[in-house]
Amino acid sequence: ISNVTANYVKTPEEIRDCLERQVISPVLWEDSIRLMIKDGTTKFYEIGPGKILTGLLQRIDKTKEVYNYGN
């Protein structure tokens, strides 16, 4: 899922385009997470220091399992 389009990226050309646009485009993180939830994702993992994304995800949907590694 591209954070530029909040949609699945399927071809090398789409990947290249999204990576280029990522530098100057807003991050559609919440839309990307909502797509993952809609498609059945029930567990999320945040890897690295801090729990910012874990907190944001819990605001979107408290019923999902969120694991944080790196503290």
Query: Is residue 65 located within the same domain as residue 46?
Result: yes
- What pLDDT is stored for residue 61 in this prediction? 96
Instruction: Provide the token pair at 63.
Output: 């019923």
Tell me the per-residue pLDDT of 41-51, one tens digit each, with 9 for 90 and over: 999 999 999 89
Dihedral angle, C-alpha 43, 4, 7, 41, nearest 10 °: 0
Cα-based distances in Å from 25 to 3, 4, 19: 9, 6, 10
The Cα 41–Cα 56 span in angstroms is 16
- What pLDDT is stored for residue 70 in this prediction? 85
User: Into how many domains does the chain fold?
Assistant: 2
Query: Is residue 31 located within the same domain as residue 60?
Result: no
Query: Is residue 27 located within the same domain as residue 10?
Result: yes
**Residue 71 pLDDT greater than 80, yes or no:** no
Tell me the per-residue pLDDT of 24-34, one tens digit each, with 9 for 90 and over: 999 999 999 99
Query: Is residue 3 located within the same domain as residue 36?
Result: yes
Using 50, 70 and 90 to split pLDDT, how confident is the model at 57? very high
Range of the domain at 19: 1-40
Model confidence, pTM? 0.86
